[in-house]
Amino acid sequence: MNINEIASLAGVSRATVSRFLNNGYVSEEKRQRIKKVIDETGYRPSAQAQTLRTKKTNLVGVIIPKINSDSIGRMVAGISLVLSQAGYQLLLANTDNNEKEEIKYLKVLAEKQVDGIILIGTVITGAHKKLLAALSIPAVILSQRLSGYSCVYYDDFQAARELTALLLETGTNVAYIGVTDRDEAAGRQRREGFLMAFEDCGKTAREELFSTGEFTMEAGRGQAEKLFSRYPEIDSVFCATDSIAVGVISWLQDQGKKIPEEVQIAGIGDSQISRVCVPRLTTVHYYYKTSGQEAAKLLVDIMSGNSDARREIRMGYRLIPGKSTRE
């Protein structure tokens, strides 16, 4: 089946079928005839021919830092929903938190002639900025703020500030377990929000109670062991992510510590594991799926030629008190 046969069966010209396939103007009566023939025959236009004709692939590359992440999964779900509705297909590239892999995939996706890229980044380096500036296709950054680029990000500073204030209501020796400051959002912004909460109430955070590691539960256990072996007086722990917090809870429970009576714990992310751990974790809910939708909408607008669509979007958050903190 080809375009000439479709035209013959529908009783229209080849040019009319071509306009229909390329979303050009066709009268409603002819449009219905063409659509009926296509539906009955199962005709699908050549993707390669359409790409050559329109210079579009209808493909969007999405670069993610980790495949087995609850938050990333929710972001991708939001992205996929919007892209599908807009007629785009998604190409997923997993970097395993390797910034060099992010650079590689930015280059590969651009060479594969995708129509746009969404980068869910953790560390934005000079190499990232240089490559993003050189891209000939639209790109949107999700979960990190990068001045001068279209991005959707979270209010990490204020969320950490509010969560720390909750711990300081009953906590005296409050520890911080985070991730590297090279991660602007989960690292630097959450640490600065933590410190600001101390300033707000005229207190000073103890530098020796700061520790950093990976995003994992195993890292949480390891950092808890290191901190509590040196400073057993710790009565509260702020964790930069839920995974770290659940690891801390696991280690403390192994030591026979009562949570939250002896030590209270809080994390960020409102992940599935935070809802099923015992006690239920006090955490911060980020609207991950909605942020994915916003990033995809932003990219679709830019790909459609709307230059005014380029902007920064800061998402809100919601504090969710659980049973891991004292009332």
Rg (CA), the chain: 25
pTM above 0.75, yes or no: yes
pLDDT band at 43 (very low <50, low <70, confident <90, very high): confident
Q: Which of 25-29, 109-113, 232-236 has the lowest mean pLDDT?
A: 109-113
pLDDT tens-digit readout, 206-227 = 999 999 998 899 999 999 999 9
Least confident window among 8-22, 88-102, 136-150: 8-22
Residue, of 22 and 115, whose pLDDT is higher:
115
Q: Determine the pLDDT at residue 245.
A: 97
Instruction: Judge whether residue 205 has pLDDT over 80.
Output: yes
> What's the mean pLDDT when you consider all of the chain?
91
pLDDT at 196: 98
- Other CB atoms closer than 10 Å to residue 34's CB: what's the count? 22
Residues 6+ away with beta carbon under 8 Å from 91: 59, 60, 61, 62, 109, 112, 114
Could you report the per-residue pLDDT of 149-170, keeping only the tens digit for each?
Answer: 999 999 999 999 999 999 999 9
Lowest mean pLDDT among 37-41, 202-206, 294-298: 37-41
Q: Which has the minimum average pLDDT: 30-34, 151-155, 192-196, 244-248?
A: 30-34
Give the per-residue pLDDT at 215: 86
Q: Is the pLDDT of residue 49 over 60?
A: no
Show the DSSP H helices in the chain as ranges. Answer: 3-10, 14-21, 28-41, 47-54, 70-85, 99-111, 126-134, 156-168, 190-200, 217-230, 242-254, 272-276, 288-303
- What's the confidence (pLDDT) of residue 76? 97
pLDDT score for 45: 64
